[in-house]
């Protein structure tokens, strides 16, 4: 990641807007991780066997039309007396993309439930389908007021993308469970939230999967932070409040913030920006965030954007 420390060379009127939706290198991910909001679901990686994991729901991904169960699913099916085979054989679960079927184990298994989620046809499987499937199954479980779940992946599904498969699971879970509730008329104590997801892996895969999930947690938390800013109504996210958020970010290591006020923008000839801002009584702010964490000699990278806090146009 290059150093963002040469903004005085940029043309006037550019807004450096860290929208947090994509992190392209580890340095930027570390930077993001310093200031993110707390999200409700906690994703962890655990060494072990899902068939021996005690949880409210054990999530299993299955492809459509597969004649033979994977080793893990076959083991769990055997331990539960054929519960998975029964629902598949009856046609209650076909493995279609994002299809969900919850089976109660009735004390035959450490997990209280088995949640089957369809991944679609194996030859068409990609990371996006994995994200969508795990978002859907976690939303379904949240709707049942389940707080804790565990899963394990059949890494042979995408053998060349083992670590990316784990990342796709974490992305689907975190982003799929995002909800913005400050203005909902609900009893906060009764709000349904998933609290924990364990990704259970063999010891040989632990370090690799743990590193990938940690990075993914940072990225998805960053996306949720950006969504919170976007979702807030105009009276709660004025340019002044937005600038305050930027200043809080700048309290972290290697980050600085400079906010241009209306007078300075006028002196710099930023008339297009000021013209748009005249649609609101709130004074405009031009926020420049600088992150200095790259290697010496690397070219700076500038992320430029605009934000209208008083309407959704533009």
Domain annotation covers residue 211: no
pLDDT of residue 312: 55
Tens of pLDDT, residue by residue over 171-189, are 999 999 998 888 877 776 7
What is the average per-residue pLDDT within 179-206? Answer: 86
Q: Are residues 194 and 56 in the same domain?
A: yes
Q: Are residues 124 and 11 in the same domain?
A: no
Domain annotation covers residue 281: yes
Q: Are residues 65 and 157 in the same domain?
A: yes
Q: Are residues 53 and 160 in the same domain?
A: yes
Look over the chain and give the mean of its residue pLDDT values, rounded to a whole number. Answer: 85
What is the average per-residue pLDDT within 279-301? Answer: 90
The answer on pLDDT for 167 being more than 60 is yes
pLDDT of residue 163: 84
Domain of residue 112, CATH code: 3.40.220.10
Domain annotation covers residue 215: no
Domain that holds residue 77: 42-201
Confidence category of residue 56, pLDDT binned at 50, 70, 90: very high
Domain annotation covers residue 1: no
The answer on pLDDT for 39 being more than 70 is no
Q: Are residues 105 and 181 in the same domain?
A: yes
Tens of pLDDT, residue by residue over 95-120, are 999 999 999 999 999 999 999 999 99
Q: Are residues 167 and 92 in the same domain?
A: yes
Domain annotation covers residue 194: yes
Q: Are residues 167 and 50 in the same domain?
A: yes
What is the average per-residue pLDDT within 188-202? Answer: 88
Q: Are residues 11 and 155 in the same domain?
A: no
Give the count of domains, the chain.
Answer: 2
E strands, 122-242, in order: 148-151, 196-201
Selected residue with higher pLDDT from 312 and 283: 283
Domain annotation covers residue 91: yes
Helix-helix angle 127-143:162-176, to 10 degrees: 40
Query: Number of helices and strands (H, E) in the chain?
Result: 9, 8
Q: Are residues 128 and 144 in the same domain?
A: yes
Selected residue with higher pLDDT from 20 and 266: 266
CA–CA separation, 83 vs 109, rounded Å?
11
Domain annotation covers residue 208: no
């Amino acid at each position: 990641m290059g150093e963002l420390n040469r903004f005085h060379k940029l043309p006037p009127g550019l807004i450096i807007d860290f929208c947090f939706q994509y992190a392209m290198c580890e340095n930027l991910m570390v930077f993001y991780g310093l200031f993110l909001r707390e999200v409700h679901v906690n994703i962890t990686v655990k060494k072990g066997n899902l068939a021996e994991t005690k949880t409210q729901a054990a999530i299993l991904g299955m492809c459509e039309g597969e004649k033979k169960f994977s080793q893990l699913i076959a083991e769990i099916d055997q331990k539960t007396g054929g519960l998975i085979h029964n629902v598949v054989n009856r046609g209650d679960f076909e493995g279609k993309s994002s299809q969900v079927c919850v089976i109660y184990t009735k004390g035959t298994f450490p997990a209280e439930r088995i949640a089957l989620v369809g991944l679609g046809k194996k030859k068409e499987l990609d990371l996006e389908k994995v994200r969508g499937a795990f978002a859907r199954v976690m939303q379904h479980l949240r709707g049942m007021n389940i707080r804790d779940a565990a899963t394990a992946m059949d890494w042979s599904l995408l053998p060349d993308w083992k670590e990316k498969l784990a990342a796709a699971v974490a992305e689907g879970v975190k982003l799929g469970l995002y909800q913005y509730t400050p203005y909902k008329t609900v009893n906060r104590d009764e709000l349904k939230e998933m609290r924990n997801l364990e990704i259970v892996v063999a010891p040989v895969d632990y370090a690799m999967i743990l590193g990938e999930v940690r990075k993914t947690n940072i990225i998805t938390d960053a996306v949720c932070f950006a969504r919170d800013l976007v979702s807030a109504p105009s009276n709660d996210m004025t340019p002044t409040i937005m600038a305050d958020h930027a200043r809080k970010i700048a309290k972290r290591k290697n980050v600085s913030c400079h906010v241009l006020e209306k007078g300075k923008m006028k002196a710099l000839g930023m008339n297009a920006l000021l013209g748009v801002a005249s649609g609101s009584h709130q004074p405009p702010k031009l926020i420049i965030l600088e992150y200095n964490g790259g290697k010496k000699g690397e070219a700076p990278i500038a992320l430029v954007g605009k934000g209208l806090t008083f309407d959704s146009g533009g």
